[in-house]
Amino acid sequence: MCFRFPHPPPVITRRTFLKSTAAAAGTLALPRFAIGQSGVPVNSKLNVGVIGVTGQGGTNVVDIAGNPNVNLAAICDVDTRLLGLAGKPWNKDTTEFVVPDHTKKFTEYREMLHDMGDKLDAVLVCTPDHSHAHQVVNCLHAGKHVFSEKPMSNSIWGARQMHAAAKKSGKITQMGIHNHTAEGLRLFKEWYDAGLLGQVREIHLWTSRPWWPYGMKEYPAPLPPPSTLNWNEWLGSTEYQDYGEGIHPYLWRSWWKFGSGVIGDMACHLIDVPYFMFGLGVPEKVEVVDIFDGTDISIPGGAHALFHFPATAARGPLQLHWYEGNRMVNGEKVPFRPPVPKTMPQDTKLSPEGRFIICDEGAMSTEGVPISVPLIYPDGKLEAWKKDGKLPEKILPRTKGGIRSEWVDAILQNKPELATANFDYAAGLTETALVGNLALRTRAGLGWDASKMRATGNEAANKYIMTPVREGWFSETSDVS
Ligand SMILES: NC(=O)c1ccc[n+]([C@@H]2O[C@H](COP(=O)([O-])OP(=O)(O)OC[C@H]3O[C@@H](n4cnc5c(N)ncnc54)[C@H](O)[C@@H]3O)[C@@H](O)[C@H]2O)c1
């Protein structure tokens, strides 16, 4: 199941890359860095590289460079203009961050892996969704620990490749879901497990995104790429597409080929809560209840999808309602929103993003990302438990710092379990989200056979499980189907 397209030759040939990175991986059998202490010399810290250094990459650069146990050894961006703005956070026009003088700068990540060799221990991949798979697989194959932005990939095949490569490498991985280290997530799991709300029955998750264009019927008119941008490298392993306006930066989200829709943008944050709490696993079926706009190349403007999860030993079957964007009512755009649970005040105003978890004896509501302190309904129930001394002790491990420092600590202490959103966890979460996308992209429900990696009852969906791959971009692929 592999479609291959010709492509202009990359700067480093596949053979050179494999030879040099395999050699580099061999030299990394023992960690060179000291168990980090603030104030240790640069060459004793964890040497980190970042691929994609503005947008979310900007946030990641500033955070990781500020970790006292990390040396920002290298940065890489395909756009030399943006490379010059490294550390520019998401949605901000200026940057105050100054890249250290000793940090090496690259415009092609395979060159970075090749030239840095064993001077690089770990890499953060913060590029658009379509590039994660080949970059992460190549970094793991080169012997680096890897942090990947969410979702792991925009294709189920890509996420499974990343997971297989991580298992084979034994390296420490993490997906960028900052919600996952939040206190609210742990509190609510402890309360639920202690029986505060009885059995879970239904989940409702919503977001007002997309805030960006959707529903395009054609790709943008071809234009010469800006002189600062290496377009071939930006496309990476993905099937060739002409450069045009409305793709780079940020707006790749509008296109299925590069992004993963609103589900890719938000579901890994929002679904993370029930996925962690109730062991959702992957859905057996997804229905499209309603959908507004959207084409097979560009994402919808709104949707309501219903995910069905089979029962486990601990709970019955679960239904998860996913609402994104708007629907059309009498020619007007109205946000897709869930009904307010019966146990909550019916005039509750819903925030742009949130979650309801409905159980036999009440409901939980949280807003935003990261998860805020959960609100419990009916009113007074949590207080009554507190008064009666029934609230459980804090028993789940807490994280000091956020999702990136958790990963750094896991590497430095050689304790993979400290990276709680590692690929063993994140691969299933990503697949769950992406099965939803198969339904939204084809605008039709489907069954999901995870063991065969195939959709049932919707043959059209099967062509989107693996996005076409241009030859030469993966150092190695696994037979994951
Ligand atoms: N965890 C979060 O809260 C969060 C928030 C926003 C975005 N994200 C994720 O971060 C990733 C990036 O999103 P964004 O909004 O920052 O995108 P963006 O397009 O704004 O920024 C991407 C950056 O990567 C660079 N880049 C693109 N392709 C590259 C390549 N092949 N090699 C090197 N550099 C490359 C671009 O030039 C740009 O600087 C996506 O996967 C997105 O889903 C996560």
Highest average pLDDT, of 100-114, 390-404, 462-476, comes from: 100-114
Ligand 1 nearest-atom number relative to CA 248:
19
Please give the distance, rounded to the nearest whole angstrom, from the Cα atom of residue 338 to the centre of ligand 1: 30
User: The domain spanning residue 203 has which CATH number?
Assistant: 3.30.360
Task: Provide the pLDDT confidence category of residue 231 given band limits of 50, 70 and 90.
Answer: very high
Pick the residue whose CA is nearest to atom 28 on ligand 1. Answer: 234
Please give the distance, rounded to the nearest whole angstrom, from the Cα atom of residue 57 to the centre of ligand 1: 6
Within-domain flag for 135: yes
Please give the distance, rounded to the nearest whole angstrom, from the Cα atom of residue 417 to the centre of ligand 1: 26
Strands 122-125 and 46-51, sheet pairing: parallel
Statement to judge: residues 97 and 205 lie in one domain: no
Within-domain flag for 466: no
Q: Is the confidence at residue 462, as pLDDT, over 90?
A: yes
Task: Provide the pLDDT confidence category of residue 411 given band limits of 50, 70 and 90.
Answer: very high
Statement to judge: residues 279 and 320 lie in one domain: yes
Task: Provide the pLDDT confidence category of residue 37 given band limits of 50, 70 and 90.
Answer: very low
What's phi and psi for 238, nearest 5 deg?
Answer: -80, 145
Predicted confidence at residue 245, as pLDDT, reads 97
Task: Provide the pLDDT confidence category of residue 389 given band limits of 50, 70 and 90.
Answer: very high
Ligand 1 nearest-atom number relative to CA 132:
41
Statement to judge: residues 273 and 154 lie in one domain: no
Rounded Cα gap, residues 470 and 466, in angstroms:
12
Of 17-21, 169-173, 337-341, which gets the smallest average pLDDT?
A: 17-21
CA distances for 373 relative to 185, 363, 376, 381, 450, angstroms: 8, 14, 10, 15, 34
Predicted confidence at residue 3, as pLDDT, reads 31
Please give the distance, rounded to the nearest whole angstrom, from the Cα atom of residue 326 to the centre of ligand 1: 25
Task: Provide the pLDDT confidence category of residue 437 given band limits of 50, 70 and 90.
Answer: very high
Pick the residue whose CA is nearest to atom 4 on ligand 1. Answer: 56
Pocket of ligand 1 contains residue 148 by CB under 6 Å: no
Predicted confidence at residue 467, as pLDDT, reads 86
Q: Is the confidence at residue 300, as pLDDT, over 80?
A: yes
Predicted confidence at residue 26, as pLDDT, reads 40
What average pLDDT does the segment 64-78 reach? Answer: 97
Percent of the chain with pLDDT over 90: 82
What average pLDDT does the segment 108-128 reach? Answer: 97
**Residues 60, 124 contacting (CB under 8 angstroms):** yes
User: The domain spanning residue 118 has which CATH number?
Assistant: 3.40.50.720
Of 42-46, 444-448, 457-461, which gets the smallest average pLDDT?
A: 42-46
Predicted confidence at residue 17, as pLDDT, reads 52
Q: Is the confidence at residue 353, as pLDDT, over 90?
A: yes
Within-domain flag for 392: no
Q: Is the confidence at residue 308, as pLDDT, over 50?
A: yes
Does the model's pTM come out above 0.85?
Answer: yes
Mean pLDDT of the chain: 90
Amino acid occupying residue 158: G
Please give the distance, rounded to the nearest whole angstrom, from the Cα atom of residue 151 to the centre of ligand 1: 11
**C-alpha triplet 215, 260, 83: angle, nearest 5°:** 105
What average pLDDT does the segment 217-233 reach? Answer: 98
Please, what is the angle between helix 132-141 and helix 156-169, to 10°? 10
Predicted confidence at residue 7, as pLDDT, reads 34
Structural domain count of the chain: 2
- Dig out the tokens for 377 from the structure: 């309904």
Task: Provide the pLDDT confidence category of residue 400 given band limits of 50, 70 and 90.
Answer: confident
Pocket of ligand 1 contains residue 56 by CB under 6 Å: yes
Pick the residue whose CA is nearest to atom 25 on ligand 1. Answer: 52
Q: Is the confidence at residue 382, as pLDDT, over 80?
A: yes
Of 83-92, 205-214, 353-362, which gets the smallest average pLDDT?
A: 83-92
Residue whose structure tokens are 């913060």:
126
What average pLDDT does the segment 309-333 reach? Answer: 96
Our mutation pick for probing the ligand 1 site, out of 56, 77, 369, counting the most ligand atoms within 8 A of Cβ, is 56
Within-domain flag for 144: yes
Q: Is the confidence at residue 11, as pLDDT, over 50?
A: no
Statement to judge: residues 97 and 112 lie in one domain: yes
What average pLDDT does the segment 305-321 reach? Answer: 97
Q: Is the confidence at residue 94, as pLDDT, over 70?
A: no
Please give the distance, rounded to the nearest whole angstrom, from the Cα atom of residue 234 to the centre of ligand 1: 11
Q: Is the confidence at residue 264, as pLDDT, over 90?
A: yes
Statement to judge: residues 189 and 123 lie in one domain: no
Task: Provide the pLDDT confidence category of residue 34 given band limits of 50, 70 and 90.
Answer: very low
Please give the distance, rounded to the nearest whole angstrom, from the Cα atom of residue 356 to the centre of ligand 1: 29
DSSP line for 174-225: EEE-GGGG-HHHHHHHHHHHTTSS-SEEEEEEEE----S----SSPPPP-PP
For residue 181, give every residue at least 6 positions away whose Cβ sits within 8 Å of its Cβ, in sequence order, or none.
370, 399, 401, 402, 403, 406, 420
Q: Is the confidence at residue 87, as pLDDT, over 70?
A: yes
Q: Is the confidence at residue 70, as pLDDT, over 70?
A: yes
Statement to judge: residues 150 and 246 lie in one domain: no
What average pLDDT does the segment 8-37 reach? Answer: 42
Pick the residue whose CA is nearest to atom 5 on ligand 1. Answer: 56
Task: Provide the pLDDT confidence category of residue 31 given band limits of 50, 70 and 90.
Answer: very low
Q: Print the domain residue range for 328.
A: 180-217+228-387
Statement to judge: residues 97 and 164 lie in one domain: yes
Predicted confidence at residue 152, as pLDDT, reads 98
Please give the distance, rounded to the nearest whole angstrom, from the Cα atom of residue 152 to the centre of ligand 1: 12
Within-domain flag for 292: yes
For residue 61, give every residue at least 6 positions away whose Cβ sits within 8 Å of its Cβ, in sequence order, or none.
50, 53, 72, 75, 86, 87, 97, 99
Ligand 1 nearest-atom number relative to CA 54:
39
Pocket of ligand 1 contains residue 149 by CB under 6 Å: yes
Our mutation pick for probing the ligand 1 site, out of 149, 266, 272, counting the most ligand atoms within 8 A of Cβ, is 149
Rounded Cα gap, residues 293 and 326, in angstroms:
10
Pocket of ligand 1 contains residue 55 by CB under 6 Å: yes
Predicted confidence at residue 197, as pLDDT, reads 96
Statement to judge: residues 174 and 184 lie in one domain: no
Percent of the chain with pLDDT over 70: 89
Statement to judge: residues 375 and 281 lie in one domain: yes
Within-domain flag for 149: yes
Please give the distance, rounded to the nearest whole angstrom, from the Cα atom of residue 56 to the centre of ligand 1: 6
Statement to judge: residues 173 and 185 lie in one domain: no
- Give pLDDT tens digits for 270-292: 999 999 999 999 999 999 999 99
Strands 200-207 and 285-292, sheet pairing: unpaired
CB-based contacts of 461-467 (< 8 A; 24+ apart in sequence): 464/155, 464/256, 464/437, 464/438, 465/1, 465/155, 465/156, 465/157, 465/438, 466/1, 466/2, 466/3, 466/155, 466/156, 466/157, 466/158, 467/130, 467/154, 467/155, 467/157, 467/158, 467/238, 467/239, 467/257
Our mutation pick for probing the ligand 1 site, out of 54, 125, 126, counting the most ligand atoms within 8 A of Cβ, is 126
Within-domain flag for 432: no
Statement to judge: residues 119 and 93 lie in one domain: yes
Statement to judge: residues 278 and 352 lie in one domain: yes
Distance from the first to the final alpha carbon of the chain: 8
Within-domain flag for 469: no
Pocket of ligand 1 contains residue 82 by CB under 6 Å: yes
Pick the residue whose CA is nearest to atom 39 on ligand 1. Answer: 54
